[in-house]
Amino acid sequence: MKKEPFVTKEQLDKIAQEYPTPFHLYDEKGIRANVKALKEAFSWNEGYKEYFAVKATPNPFLINILKEYDCGCDCSSMTELMLSRAIGVVGSDIMFSSNDTPIEEYQYAEQIGATINLDDITHIEVLEKAVGKLPKRLSCRYNPGGLFKISNDIMDNPGDAKYGMTTEQLFEAFRILKEKGVEEFGIHAFLASNTVTNDYYPMLAKVLFDVAVRLKKETGAHITFINLSGGIGIPYRPEQEPNDIFVIGEGVRKAYEEVLVPEGMGNVAIYTELGRYMMGPYGALVTRAINEKHTHKEYIGVDACAVNLMRPAMYGAYHHITVMGKEDMPCDHKYDVTGSLCENNDKFAIDRMLPEIEKGDLLFIHDAGAHGFAMGYNYNGKLKSAEILLREDGKTELIRRAETPADYFATFDCFDFYQKVLKK
């Protein structure tokens, strides 16, 4: 399968004239079509709700698009809670799923009415001390341990993850919470990341539905929602088949009707907390080739670096690259595509076969819409780039300006040094 940019070369040339590279570009049309399909795929469940994983793409302009479709926010920190509140997402529209949680974050989450998802049984006491009387509605995060497999393929290793409660702890937590006055319970689990298979969600759902039935029978807890969290991935490589959200939704429905409905639990709401799936394919890092180097290998240097997209350097992750205007040319040149950090892993591609690249060419780095800008940092004093939204009508909107040296030095603003360093 060929990966096609969501923008033409002519469009991108025009955008790059207005906004200096590098920048992140997002596709409003694609985002809207995707969220509509997701909601349709789970429309069989009356209480279904998507809580967008703010950590993936923490931009209020993009989250507001999802908010139009009644999506909530999945938050994991104080600032994510603050961002959500600032755009009018409060109360049960926020799911607060954190770990190693500071007391003040529990207090703020309770203050704005978020549904709190407890990561550990010991946090029952922590939350109680933080807010006094426990909320009437709480969730617990479950980790069954071991390996998570689909057929003979190992998808992930929950037993090695720091998140969630064991089976025994989960049941004990429900008993304790019920005794302390909690009336509505939720179950949450995240057992595998970036799965490109239609089987993951239905299998996860079956696991959680079975546990929910046992919890109801053994603890008497009133379970009102089951949160399948994230994990639905995207096809970073052209040869990968994308997930079919309608097949996934139908698989979850079948498990729901097989397990929950016969037990009188046909009114349990299904929640999701997707991030990568919601935004990943609809964002790109746009960068320009500015240097070339011919030594032991052929290098193309671009004006972006791992500050703008960390995944290749951090994970060795693959991101497809389109050389704009050369989509139909043969990929007969082998390059390492690099940034300028003083780190040898600052490479967007290694030994990648691409068309011949010349200085000035625009490179469209695909699937950077989630965990792209969000994972940026300032090593080497590099500054984060702008974020641009490509509207459905073809116009563009700046939705985050690029950082400036003043931003980089802002935490010195209480010292005399601050004014001196900004003088050129």
pLDDT in tens, 23-66: 999 999 999 999 999 999 999 999 999 999 999 999 999 999 99
Do 292 and 261 belong together in one domain? no
Do 262 and 300 belong together in one domain? no
| 284/370 Cα distance (integer angstroms) | 9
In this prediction, what percent of the chain has a pLDDT beyond 90? 90
Do 406 and 304 belong together in one domain? yes
Do 102 and 55 belong together in one domain? yes
Do 128 and 67 belong together in one domain? yes
pLDDT at residue 154 in the model: 47
Burial (CB count <10 Å: 0-12, 13-18, 19+), residue 409? middle
Do 273 and 371 belong together in one domain? no
User: The CATH number of the domain where 309 resides is what?
Assistant: 2.40.37.10
| 244/182 Cα distance (integer angstroms) | 37
Judge whether 22 lies within some domain: no
| 141/118 Cα distance (integer angstroms) | 6
Judge whether 237 lies within some domain: yes
Distance, first Cα to last Cα, the chain: 50
pLDDT of residue 97 exceeding 70, the answer is yes
Judge whether 249 lies within some domain: yes
Do 342 and 328 belong together in one domain? yes
pLDDT of residue 186 exceeding 50, the answer is yes
Do 167 and 137 belong together in one domain? yes
| 228/37 Cα distance (integer angstroms) | 17
Judge whether 51 lies within some domain: yes
> How far is CA 340 from each of CA 147, 307, 379, 410, rounded to the nearest angstrom?
39, 10, 11, 23
Judge whether 169 lies within some domain: yes
Final residue in a domain of this structure, among 232, 258, 280: 280
CA 116, chain centre distance (Å): 19
pLDDT-based confidence at residue 424 (cuts at 50, 70, 90): low
Do 163 and 266 belong together in one domain? yes
Report the predicted TM-score, pTM, of the whole model to 2 decimal places. 0.95
* Residues whose CB is less than 8 angstroms from the CB of residue 325 and which lie 6 or more positions away in sequence, other chains included: 9, 361, 362
Name the domain count of the chain.
Answer: 2
Judge whether 161 lies within some domain: yes
- What domain range includes position 147? 28-280
Judge whether 347 lies within some domain: yes
State the average pLDDT over residues 180-186: 97
Do 251 and 356 belong together in one domain? no
Judge whether 418 lies within some domain: no
Final residue in a domain of this structure, among 248, 280, 312: 280
Do 204 and 109 belong together in one domain? yes
Final residue in a domain of this structure, among 280, 297, 322: 280
Do 103 and 232 belong together in one domain? yes
